[in-house]
Amino acid sequence: MSDDRDGDEHELRVSKIRNGTVIDHVRGGQALNVLAILGIDGSQGEEVSVGMNVPSDRLARKDIVKVEGRELSQDEVDVLSLIAPDATINIVRDYEVVEKHRVERPEIVEGVLSCPNTGCITTGDEPVSSRFEVLDDGVRCTYCGTIVREEIASLIDT
């Protein structure tokens, strides 16, 4: 992980991974929500390292999450962007970073969040995936129009 210029300090605290994903430059305090998005709560025995509120050049304080044995899907990266818009995703294979990308806010997030409106057609038994339009400051269900600005992570369909 020598590519991370502000990483020397926390490298001592968070160990390297062999294969998996490093999510860096997460806004300070959001690491646990990142894990929630990935559906990781430790119960499945995943190997996870978390650094919270470590000093960073780009963000005053950042969180960093390392997950062994798991590469993120595009859907997961899309939703991640809603709570961690500055994050960088490093895919690691055999201790080397083989891919590195910044997250981009998508225009639409499909099938990942569930609508909090219990009267919404997507929360019934219909064969339809949820779909949310991404607003500047939240997300909006394209079916019922419900807007969610806070605690988007709690809508993640696990």
Residues that bind another protein (CB under 8 A): 117, 119-122, 124-128, 140-147
- d(CA 86, CA 104) in angstroms, rounded, equals 9
In the complex, what is the shortest distance from the CB of residue 62 to another protein, in angstroms, rounded to a whole number?
A: 32
Q: Which is nearer to another protein, 72 or 141 (CB)?
A: 141
In the complex, what is the shortest distance from the CB of residue 83 to another protein, in angstroms, rounded to a whole number?
A: 21
Distance of CA 146 to the CA centre of its chain: 22
Q: Which is nearer to another protein, 62 or 131 (CB)?
A: 131
Q: Which is nearer to another protein, 58 or 149 (CB)?
A: 149
What number of CA atoms fall less than 13 Å from residue 77's CA on the CB side?
20
Phi, psi of 117 (to 5 degrees): -80, 110
In the complex, what is the shortest distance from the CB of residue 128 to another protein, in angstroms, rounded to a whole number?
A: 5
- d(CA 55, CA 59) in angstroms, rounded, equals 8
Q: Which is nearer to another protein, 94 or 150 (CB)?
A: 150
- d(CA 134, CA 138) in angstroms, rounded, equals 6
Phi, psi of 36 (to 5 degrees): -65, -40
Token couple for 87: 């994050």
In the complex, what is the shortest distance from the CB of residue 137 to another protein, in angstroms, rounded to a whole number?
A: 10
In the complex, what is the shortest distance from the CB of residue 119 to another protein, in angstroms, rounded to a whole number?
A: 5
Q: Which is nearer to another protein, 32 or 144 (CB)?
A: 144
Degrees (nearest 5) of the Cα angle 96, 101, 102? 140
